[in-house]
Structure 1
Amino acid sequence: MAQRVAVNDSSASKRPSRVRVAVRLRPYVDKQDEKAEGPCVRGLGPQSLEIINWRNATETLQYQFDVFHGENSTQQEVFLSSVKPIVPHILSGQNASVFAYGPTGAGKTHTMLGSQEQPGVIPRAVREVFQLVRNHEKDQDEWKFSVGMSYLEIYNEKVLDLLSPSSQDLPIREDKDKNIIIPGLTQTPLSSFSDFHAHFVPASLKRTTASTKLNQRSSRSHAILLIKVVKCQRVPPHRRQTGKLYLVDLAGSEDNRRTGNQGIRLKESGAINLSLFTLSKVVDRLNAGAGGRVPYRDSKLTRLLQDSLGGSAHSVTIANIAPEYKDYFDTFTALNFAAKSKNIVNKPFVRETVLTSTAAGKRVREEQDAGGSAEPQNKKLKEGKRAEQPSPTQPHGPAADSTVLDRLLALEKMMLGTPEKDRLNLLKTVAQSRKEIQMLKEKQKELEEKADLLNKLTGDQSDAKDPTEDARASKSLFRTDLPPLHRKQSVAKSKKQAVVTPLQVSQVQPMVCKPSQTLEKKRKRIQSEISEGKENSGLDVSGGEENWESRLDSSLLEQSKMKILQTLNSGSIKELKSLQLIGDKKAKLILGWREINGDFTQVEDLKKLEVITDKRFSSFIKANILSVMGK
């Protein structure tokens, strides 16, 4: 079954990108003011300007920005220098945003929309998107593209869908990947620029506007256009990249004494000024640094712009200002906001998913950051318990218990994420288990000495038998397919989590010879004890020896590796996780590697995964081979 796993491009992930700031000076509208006092703002170059110091008219304050567009600048110049450079990012799975800021009547809507003769940023940016899509489809046959749009306004702190005017106030949510989403917002697919124009123009006319003393068609809401580009790979591994372009036309701040707002206009003005004030607080907090809460949630506007300011988008701010003296303080405020905005640093990254084929099919998408995350503690405890408990398909008794090595591996795995106090208890448990292993080894040595003594006493009988029998009996002491030792266990529960208490290994009772027993009965009893696996403790499974493979039969060793290799090449996530030391994350990485590179040719290919070091691979192969042989 198909499954999409979200990944990040680690090479380009979280690469800093400063917010670019452009300032555009509107031409004179009030000719009478021009003749009386002249402009209060003057450009000094392609990146700098100055404004009269209101405290001292003989002085000026100078500002430096990325771009300064004078009063004679054209719509094309604004687009080419400020907006066009960030548009290609959305075709590679990254986000970008452009928003116009400034006081009412400063020309924000003209900059973003323009006119039929002089189209603004929005129509030019959308046309550029379709042009880039056509070029990429010609050059890259393995990729297919789809473009869609959404259009909304924030009016009186309500999110309204302009493509579906009948909808009510829409909620703003944040998904598990920290992406801002609006459930219920209309998403319209687009096939061409003319298709976009047919949807956008009627929706723009539905935006809330009104006449004030300063502007005949004043925007009473913040309008946000979202262009979404999805790039899908036609061939395996079917990568999918999603990029979004936010084009924002903000409503202007208003001085109600000058605009003459009353009634509903006054309420609208209050909502606009409050959201812009919150926007200014967000910028101040981002510039202050040193952590702390950024007040994104204090308004709907800043919540939607969370990705554009201090988030993961390539952002451009176009501050629109007016040259008249009567707009001096509004212009001064806009310039200060623009100066603070250019210090904000975003961290864009590629949003990509990879389609993998799994038998489970019910697991959902998982966003994997550059470092990943540890498995939950309760999951580790469950896996540890599962390793200790016998399979329901196996009979009860000594053959159904885990081996000493399985217990130690389970305990060491549980120690990785346990609290300090519980970890010390587990360390004591491991030490006690190793001590018990040593006692069993000494018991085996005692049994071997008794066997040698009996062989000497019954030498006459053994001479008549096959001379290789003693060699086979001696070799059987190191068999790996013997049933494991029976050990008792107890589980203690704490307030926070289950902790396995020290294991109790049942003592092998020493063999006591009765005077009435004959030598032949003694020899048969010792051979019976050996065949029942009581000398199995002679094989050192504590994990401390490097030549453990030399103790195993080569054919059995190769057969075990083939079983592990078969599971790596054909196993589902559930089957991969049944391997020792393989969790959910490593299982998905193995599936992804298999989709891209094909089957593993040998078990050692597992080390090609970045998370599998030589040390981890050694532990993995040892644990799984001994586990397979113990079955």
Structure 2
Amino acid sequence: MCYSLVESTIEGYNGTIFAYGQTGCGKTHTMQGDKNLSNSGIIPKCFDHIFETISMTTNVRYLALVTYMEIYNERIRDLLNKNENTSVINHSLKELPGIGVSVPTLTTQPVVNANQCYDWLHFGNKNRVTAATLMNKNSSRSHTIFTITLEQSPFFNSIGLEDAFGGIRRGKLSLVDLAGSERQRRTGAKGDRLKEASQINLSLSALGNVISSLVDGKAKHVPFRDSKLTRLLQDSLGGNTKTLMISCISPTDINYDETISTLRYASRAKNISNKPKINEDPKDATLRLYQNEILYLKRMLQESQQISYRNNDTNKIIESPLKIIQLTNMNSTKNVQIIESGQNCNASFKTNNSISTNPNFPLIQSEGEIQLQAQSRIDLIKRTLIGGERIHDFKLKKKAHGSKICSPTSLKCNS
């Protein structure tokens, strides 16, 4: 069901998968499954898909980073921070150019395989707020978003010079487990449980209002700022993301009203039109165009030389392509020099400090300290680069081919 969307993330697109429905209808089970991996949910299967695909890639290396956050009573908590006092921390949202709405202070952990992702998912779940209600003994009292970011770059040691100027791409997959909508008379919520239910319903109501505004098309204002949840999902609803919504419903007739509400919710959501695109630095794309043009003109020159040698008329044939190459080189020399001087830096994947550092970082540092930190960061990134480890694994290739055949030929992700 999620095959095409996960493949798009590996290619450099943003993707979001979220489950919606009333409390106790199986959203968390759908997303995470059981602890037994043989009955795993969507999130573990996405981990397997991502790292199996990466292990079979050629000429590309990846840096995989994960974060895990919780929205509890309109407060953002970091579920991967081992030292954080989660009762008082409330992380702030920021809208960053080229990235969108994010929480830059979250702990970001590098991962090199699916097992490490499982470990961080289980670690975060231990910190997540759950409680018993009349409808669910392990009811989620918060929304959670597990994000895996994949930054990719050409592998210079295994490719020719003509491909060494490929750009950095950055795909992001957000896996969202929403808390369920609740009715107090059904859940028997009191005290803290009632307060939590109120906040859950308010955020889900805000999400519904956003969907209605986007579908209507006439609304001048879309109320993304009404809740933290809608702010974080802003890019997933009408923005630069491929989005898949899974509606979870109860099979019992006593939940008829909630089931109808969920289906209406989904019916509105499917009419939202997103505008996904590959996330790539515009400078990288421009430089690659320059490089491709230079290579094309060089091939023209070589072909012209071969013809000219046969016709003994070299000057007339070479003059025109040579002038074009000189003109192109004049316009792009500076950019090409930048890339040539920074090829080794490309391995850092422009993570923009995405690997977590000490928040008490001093404002003034000596040159030696800066160099030491930079070298330490480079060493860390080198240890976490992945890709191509199982390129000759025939069984894995056969499995991947089977998964591709069994997947829907066209997954509608509102793209």
Partner of 1:208: 129
Contact 1:237–1:354 (CA under 8 A) maintained in structure 2: no
Partner of 2:291: none
Task: State the 1:292 CA deviation.
Answer: 1.2
Counterpart residue type for residue 147 of structure 1: A
TM-superposition CA deviations, 1:66-106 (whole Å, max 9, x none): xxxxxxxxxxxxxxxx2122101112211011000000011
Match of 2:85 among 166, 172, 175: 166
Partner of 2:172: 244
1:362-401 pair list within 5 angstroms: none
Partner of 2:107: 186
1:293 is paired with a residue whose SS is coil
Alignment pair present for 1:90 and 2:9: yes
Structure 1 or 2, whichever has the larger Rg, is 1
Partner of 1:275: 203
Task: State the 1:354 CA deviation.
Answer: 6.8
1:53-452 pair list within 5 angstroms: 82-115=1-34, 116=36, 117-136=38-57, 140-141=58-59, 143-164=60-81, 165-166=84-85, 168-177=89-98, 179-235=100-156, 236-290=164-218, 292-353=220-281
Tell me, in whole angstroms, the C-alpha distance in 1 between the residues paired with 2:216 and 2:282.
38
TM-superposition CA deviations, 1:435-493 (whole Å, max 9, x none): xxxxxxxxxxxxxxxxxxxxxxxxxxxxxxxxxxxxxxxxxxxxxxxxxxxxxxxxxxx
Task: State the 1:325 CA deviation.
Answer: 1.8
Counterpart residue type for residue 186 of structure 2: R
Tell me, in whole angstroms, the C-alpha distance in 2 between the residues paired with 1:145 and 1:339.
37
Task: State the 1:596 CA deviation.
Answer: 8.8
1:166/1:233 CA distance change after superposition, 3 Å:
farther
Contact 1:237–1:355 (CA under 8 A) maintained in structure 2: no
1:343/1:596 CA distance change after superposition, 3 Å:
same
Larger displacement relative to structure 2 (164-173 or 299-308): 164-173
Tell me, in whole angstroms, the C-alpha distance in 1 between the residues paired with 2:333 and 2:207.
45
Tell me, in whole angstroms, the C-alpha distance in 2 between the residues paired with 1:128 and 1:163.
23
Tell me, in whole angstroms, the C-alpha distance in 1 between the residues paired with 2:68 and 2:171.
16
Task: State the 1:304 CA deviation.
Answer: 0.6
Residue identity over aligned pairs, in percent, reads 37
1:131 is paired with a residue whose SS is helix
1:239/1:315 CA distance change after superposition, 3 Å:
same
Which segments of 5 or more consecutive residues in structure 2 lack a partner in the other structure? 157-163, 287-322, 341-415
Counterpart residue type for residue 75 of structure 2: K
TM-superposition CA deviations, 1:304-329 (whole Å, max 9, x none): 11111111111110000012122111
Which segments of 5 or more consecutive residues in structure 1 lack a partner in the other structure? 1-81, 357-364, 367-561, 571-586, 598-631
Tell me, in whole angstroms, the C-alpha distance in 2 between the residues paired with 1:114 and 1:173.
32
Contact 1:238–1:355 (CA under 8 A) maintained in structure 2: no
Task: State the 1:203 CA deviation.
Answer: 1.3
1:187/1:596 CA distance change after superposition, 3 Å:
closer
Tell me, in whole angstroms, the C-alpha distance in 2 between the residues paired with 1:311 and 1:161.
25
Give TM-score scaled by structure 2 length. Answer: 0.66
2:54 is paired with a residue whose SS is helix
Tell me, in whole angstroms, the C-alpha distance in 2 between the residues paired with 1:594 and 1:192.
35
Contact 1:238–1:354 (CA under 8 A) maintained in structure 2: no
Tell me, in whole angstroms, the C-alpha distance in 2 between the residues paired with 1:121 and 1:273.
24
Task: State the 1:338 CA deviation.
Answer: 0.5
| Backbone CA RMSD of aligned residues | 2.5
TM-superposition CA deviations, 1:268-291 (whole Å, max 9, x none): 000000000000000100100135
Counterpart residue type for residue 90 of structure 1: T
Partner of 2:310: none
Task: State the 1:590 CA deviation.
Answer: 6.7
Tell me, in whole angstroms, the C-alpha distance in 2 between the residues paired with 1:327 and 1:590.
67
TM-superposition CA deviations, 1:386-443 (whole Å, max 9, x none): xxxxxxxxxxxxxxxxxxxxxxxxxxxxxxxxxxxxxxxxxxxxxxxxxxxxxxxxxx
Counterpart residue type for residue 184 of structure 1: T
Task: State the 1:265 CA deviation.
Answer: 0.6
Tell me, in whole angstroms, the C-alpha distance in 2 between the residues paired with 1:590 and 1:330.
63
1:346 is paired with a residue whose SS is coil
Counterpart residue type for residue 348 of structure 1: P
Runs of 4+ in 1 over 6 A off after TM superposition: 593-597
Residue-pair matches, total: 289
Task: State the 1:591 CA deviation.
Answer: 4.0
Between Structure 1 and Structure 2, the one with more helix by share is 2
1:350 is paired with a residue whose SS is coil
